[in-house]
Amino acid sequence: MGSVGTAGTGAEGTAEERRQLINVAYRLLGSVTEAEDAVQDAYGRWYGLPRSRRAEIRSPGAWLTTVTSRICLDLLGSARARRERYVGAWLPEPLPDRAEWGRAGGGPGGGPADGADPADLIVLDESVAMAFLVVLEAMTPAERVAFVLHDVFRYPFAEVAGVLGRTPAACKQLAASARRRVGEAPAPVSSAAGRAEVLRQVRKAWEAKDIAALVGLLDPAAVLTADGGGLAGAVPRPVEGGARIARYMVAVADQAPGLELLERSVNGVPGLVARRAGVVVTVAAFDVSGGRVTRIWAVRNPEKLRPWVREGRLWSAGSRAPGGS
Q: How many CB atoms lie within 10 A of CB 42?
A: 24
Domain boundary among 184, 204, 222: 184
Same domain, 157 and 218: no
User: How many Å apart are CA 75 and CA 82, to the nearest integer?
Assistant: 10
Q: Measured in whole angstroms, how far is the alpha carbon of residue 136 from the centre of its chain? A: 11
Amino acid at 50: P
Number of structural domains (the chain) is 2
Same domain, 177 and 267: no
**In this predicted model, what pLDDT tens digit does every residue of 28-67 receive, in sequence order?**
999 999 999 999 999 999 999 999 999 999 989 899 999 9
The residues, ordered by sequence, that sit 6+ positions from 320 with a Cβ below 8 Å of its Cβ are 102
Are 263 and 200 within 8 A, CB to CB? Answer: yes
On whether residue 214 sits in a domain, the answer given is: yes
Is the predicted pLDDT of residue 105 greater than 50, yes or no? no
On whether residue 6 sits in a domain, the answer given is: no
Lowest mean pLDDT among 3-17, 95-109, 144-158: 3-17
Structure confidence at residue 309 (pLDDT): 77
237: number of CA atoms within 13 Å, CB side?
A: 3
Same domain, 244 and 143: no
The residues, ordered by sequence, that sit 6+ positions from 57 with a Cβ below 8 Å of its Cβ are 63
Q: What is the mean pLDDT of residues 90-100?
A: 88
Same domain, 156 and 217: no
Dihedral pair phi/psi, residue 267, rounded to 5°: 55, 40
Distance (Å) of CA 89 to CA 84, 226, 228: 9, 7, 8
On whether residue 4 sits in a domain, the answer given is: no
Q: Give me the DSSP letters along 5-64.
A: PPPPSSHHHHHHHHHHHHHHHHHHHS-HHHHHHHHHHHHHHHHHS-HHHHHH-S-HHHHH
Same domain, 206 and 292: yes
CATH for 163:
1.20.140
Structure confidence at residue 123 (pLDDT): 82
Are 69 and 138 within 8 A, CB to CB? Answer: no
Is the predicted pLDDT of residue 185 greater than 60, yes or no? yes
> Which domain, by its residues, includes 213?
192-316
Same domain, 16 and 73: yes
Given phi > 0 = left and psi -120 to 50 = alpha, else beta, which region is 277? Answer: left
Same domain, 227 and 269: yes
Are 322 and 250 within 8 A, CB to CB? Answer: no
CATH for 241:
3.10.450.50
Structure confidence at residue 189 (pLDDT): 61
Amino acid at 10: G
On whether residue 107 sits in a domain, the answer given is: no
**In this predicted model, what pLDDT tens digit does every residue of 140-160 receive, in sequence order?**
999 999 999 999 999 999 999
**Which position has the higher pLDDT, 1 or 241?**
241
Domain boundary among 184, 205, 230: 184
Is the predicted pLDDT of residue 226 greater than 60, yes or no? yes
Same domain, 43 and 158: yes
Per DSSP, the three-state class of 280 is strand
Same domain, 203 and 141: no
Is the predicted pLDDT of residue 12 greater than 70, yes or no? no
Q: Give me the DSSP letters along 62-129.
A: HHHHHHHHHHHHHHHHHHHHHHHSSSS---PPP-B-GGGGT---SSGGGPPPTT--HHHHS--SGGGS
Is the predicted pLDDT of residue 7 greater than 50, yes or no? no
298: exposed, middle or buried (C-beta count within 10 Å: 0-12, 13-18, 19+)? buried
Same domain, 202 and 282: yes
On whether residue 108 sits in a domain, the answer given is: no
First vs last Cα of the chain: how many Å apart?
A: 33
Domain boundary among 162, 184, 206: 184
Q: What is the mean pLDDT of residues 196-203?
A: 96
Q: At what angle do helices 32-48 and 11-29 cross, to 10 degrees?
A: 130
Closest CA to 288 of 166, 192, 212: 192
Same domain, 178 and 210: no
Dihedral pair phi/psi, residue 324, rounded to 5°: 65, -175
